[in-house]
Amino acid sequence: MKPLFIFTISLFSLSVFAQPLERAIPEDLGIDSRRLHYADEAIYQAIADREIPGAVLAVVYEGKMVYLKAYGNKQVYPDTIPMDVNTVFDMASVSKSMSTAVSTIILLERGQLRLSDRVNMYIPDFKGNIRLVDLLTHTSGLPSYATVDSLRLWYGEPNPDGLIDYISNCRRYFDPGTEFQYSCLNFITLQRIIETISGQSLKDFAKANIFDVLGMEHTCYQPEGETLARVAPTEKQKDGSVLRGVVHDPLARVMNGGISGNAGVFSDAEDMAILAAALLNGGAYNGKRILSPQGVKVMSAVPASVKEFGRSLGWDLDSDYASNKGNLLSDNAYGHTGYTGTSIVIDPDNDIAIILLTNRVHPDDGNSTVRLRAVVANAVAASFGCPPD
């Protein structure tokens, strides 16, 4: 009976901890909710223009959820299902930041790696003098992507070892640290390093050290159960089916079996808000810590050696990909976007986080959310410090 008692207590403790952010009325914190409606209008216009089927917007301020709203539909093919705030999204490349980058900094804090370490310390056959910092800032010289059909032919599928073999020996386009080229291969390489050091899959490491610690109940790789039931579909396939609960990114889906350093995380607005609140609070939320304040500061700052490229350690401050910041947030705001239509931006100077989640590739790929992210960020930022008359 004793082991059963202990197990029951553990489950009780987890259920108590897993709680959403405290809610706050915008006006109580000096926010004009009427101005927030400009964000609503932009999102509704994007839905009307068929740029997106629907969206969820979450706004965090001073560690509290001040706005959480669903728009449109999460599914329009083969039938229509309305969007709701509990919808889980394929986070696509936001996975690079919220999982792979944070996991790397956790290992840095534990003294298990250095940013200046060469990749071939951990992957012996890896060609060249690429360092971990080069991977994190997309200044490694690796190609931006790889042709999945060719990899499938050469190595079979799924084949994570084959994928790493390809990355280890593929062409380098420039010397490390001299240019910027956004590359999914950088973060697949980081995944292998994390797994080599920790002895765990990236899925298990991120769950144990990030998602479970913060109580992010519906954040994971390879969703199942209740989380899977909440997932918004992505792209329609040639056979008429749609991807749902299976990562959209081809390298992650085909070669890495759904667990990948470049994509594969599924999450919802509530969980993303908790992560943002933790990062805005020096790495801790509700008394639970994933990073030290120093770790958050280093992760979110652009290294001096690559200042001109605007990329921090897994996040974006000022590159051409940072348009989701809009025009009104501080220079220190950092974030990331995902191909499927996801976005997060965190502004430590103003204690604000803006999370816009869409599944723009459903049912068909082709529409862009670049402008939408920026105008929503502008409308949200302009509502702060403007209490109603």
Confidence of residue 17 (pLDDT cuts 50, 70, 90): low
pLDDT digits (tens, 9 = 90+) for 71-83: 999 999 999 999 9
Q: Does residue 6 sit within a domain?
A: no
Interval 299-316 mean pLDDT:
97
CATH number for the domain harbouring residue 298: 3.40.710.10
Q: Could you tell me if residue 7 is inside a domain? A: no
Whether 161 contacts 189, CB under 8 Å: no
The answer to whether residue 153 is domain-embedded is yes
Give the pair of three-digit tokens for residue 14. Answer: 């987890």
234 lies in which domain range?
A: 22-382
| pLDDT-above-90 percentage for the chain | 94
State how far the Cα of 304 lies from the Cα of 191, in Å rounded to an integer. Answer: 24
> Residue 385 — pLDDT band, cuts 50, 70, 90?
confident
Counting Cβ atoms within 10 Å, is residue 155 exposed (0-12), middle (13-18) or buried (19+)? middle
Q: Which residue has the higher pLDDT, 7 or 343?
A: 343
SS3 165: helix
How much is the pLDDT for 328? 98
Q: What is the mean pLDDT of the chain?
A: 94
- At residue 77, the pLDDT reads 97
- With beta carbons less than 8 A apart as the criterion, state whether 359 and 47 touch: no
Q: Would residue 92 count as lying in a domain? A: yes
Q: Which residues contact 156 (CB under 8 A, 6 or more apart)?
A: 162
pLDDT tens sequence across 216-259: 999 999 999 999 999 999 999 999 999 999 999 999 999 999 99
Residue 2 in domain = no
Contacts of 312 (CB under 8 A, 6+ apart): 136, 137, 299, 300, 301, 302, 303, 334
Q: What is each CA distance from 175 to 122, 130, 141, 146, in whole angstroms?
A: 20, 8, 6, 19
Q: What is the DSSP letter of 361?
A: T
The pLDDT of residue 14 = 40
pLDDT of residue 386: 77
State how far the Cα of 225 lies from the Cα of 359, in Å rounded to an integer.
20
Q: pTM, whole model, 2 decimals? A: 0.94
More confident position, 298 or 6:
298
At residue 50, the pLDDT reads 97
d(CA 251, CA 262): 9
Q: Is the C-alpha dihedral spanning 259, 262, 267, 270 positive or negative?
A: positive
Could you give the 3-state DSSP secondary structure of residue 382?
helix
Other CB atoms within a 10 A radius of the CB of residue 153 amount to 10
The stretch 101-130 carries a mean pLDDT of 98
Residue 5 lies in a domain: no
At residue 161, what is the residue type? D
Q: Is residue 2 over pLDDT 70?
A: no
* Mean pLDDT of all residues in 156-160: 97
Does some domain include residue 252? Answer: yes
Q: How confident is the model at residue 206 (pLDDT cuts 50, 70, 90)?
A: very high
Please answer whether residues 376 and 354 qualify as being in contact, where contact means their C-beta atoms are separated by less than 8 angstroms: yes
Domains in the chain, number: 1
**Average pLDDT for residues 41-70, to the nearest whole number?**
98
Place of tokens 């993303």: 272
**194 lies in a domain?**
yes
* CA dihedral (341, 19, 35, 29) positive or negative: negative
Strand order in the sheet with 265-268: 88-90, 265-268, 220-221
Output the six-digit token pair for 371: 């402008």
CB 39: neighbour CB atoms within 10 A? 27
Q: How far apart are CA 339 and CA 262, in angstroms?
A: 11
Are the beta carbons of 292 and 105 closer than 8 angstroms?
Answer: no
Does a cis peptide bond (omega within 30 degrees of 0) precede residue 158? yes
